[in-house]
Amino acid sequence: MAEKTPTILVTGVSGYIAGHVTAGLLQRGYKVRGTVRSLKKGERVQQDLEEFGVDTAKLSFIEADLDMDDGWEDATKDCQYIQHLASPFPMEQPTDREALVPAARAGAQRVLAAGFAANVDRIVLTSSLVSMMGKPGKGAHMMVTEDDWSDPDWRALTAYAVSKTRAELSAWDYARIQGFQDRLTVVNPGFVLGPAIGKTYGTSLALIEQMFKGEFPRTPKACFPIVDVRDLANLHIEAMLVKKAAGRRLIGAGKSLWLREIAAIARAAYPKRGRKLPKGDMPSFIVKIAAIFDNRIKGVLSDLDTCHEVDNAYVTDLTGVSFRDPKQSVLDSCEYLIAQGKI
């Protein structure tokens, strides 16, 4: 008797990272059930995937909202795995540092509760490096490891970082209490670059778009570990399948780049198109003053003057996933934005 093809639930299937995870799962022959707030959005996702060259015969959609209990029992029914990627990343930081916490924490717990009740083999939850690298006294260099946790009580931490940290802590606590810690794996992505599937892309790509448009004469002095969205999608899938990844936090990032380096790479490749790209670092005291008037800048305040790097050798050892040169991810991001008419 032929073995039944596993069904994987992908939450927030219309998202930037989720699109690539969905494509990778379908290309490997899995059935994918994607959650959307409206089935109309599912039609757009399917069209984007087909234009990307993906066979969508095994793709289906179901309405489920992270803010509501209804729908999650049906969403997880008969699923073997869950990829929980749905989570907003605000372009502007709320003034209340705890504002995003209730929704992020409750949404993750709804998915975990439904998944554990459905007896799924593994839930892969997408967190972020911001839940690892936000702590005082970092200095000029910080090596981020699997064991690092951000301090959600640190006043410099942004609302987004606070929400991701508290949501991940809550997810691990819930999994332990339920006795299912070995069925949870968390992926902590860095600064995500690379082409999107369709027109929906992440905040990191939006930052490159803003650079090309001259919205920043200089860049904040900050350095982040970079991950290509295609490598990140592959990591999510391997995190689901590799037995030794159970109960682990997997850093999803490779080499680091200063924001000024991203601008310089783009300028060298597109000298005419990139005339408005920022040149050099903005003094950090000016960034701090500007953040008073522009909420978009607040997101980088806790990372100023620090080069963040990651210890990710264990991730490659566990999963076999390696991370491409971030310079290529920058260039591929630019090509995508050009093709979309954004820059």
pLDDT score recorded for residue 1 = 43
> What pTM was computed for the model?
0.94
If one counts every other C-beta atom within 10 angstroms of the C-beta of residue 239, the result is: 26
pLDDT tens readout for residues 315-337: 999 999 999 999 999 999 999 99
Task: Please give the full DSSP string across 70-132, using - where no structure is assigned.
Answer: TTHHHHHTT-SEEEE------SS--SSTTTTHHHHHHHHHHHHHHHHHTT-SEEEEE--GGGT
Q: Which residues, other chains included, contact 331 with Cβ-Cβ below 8 Å and sequence gap of 6+?
A: 265, 266, 269
Q: Which helix (H) or strand (E) holds 207?
A: helix 203-212
Report the candidate in 88, 120, 175 with the shortest Cα–Cα distance to residue 8. 120
pLDDT tens readout for residues 77-95: 999 999 999 876 555 666 6
Residue 265 has pLDDT above 70, yes or no: yes
Q: What is the mean pLDDT of residues 159-175?
A: 95
Q: Which range is least confidently modeled, 92-96, 173-177, 212-216?
A: 92-96
Tokens 């380096």 — which residue?
261
Q: What is the mean pLDDT of residues 22-46?
A: 97
Q: Which residues, other chains included, contact 53 with Cβ-Cβ below 8 Å and sequence gap of 6+?
A: none
Residue ranges and CATH numbers for the domains of the chain are 7-339 (3.40.50.720)
- Per cent of the chain over pLDDT 70 is 97
pLDDT tens readout for residues 239-248: 999 999 999 9
Task: Please give the full DSSP string across 249-291, using - where no structure is assigned.
Answer: EEEE--SEEEHHHHHHHHHHH-TTTTTTS--SEEPHHHHHHHH
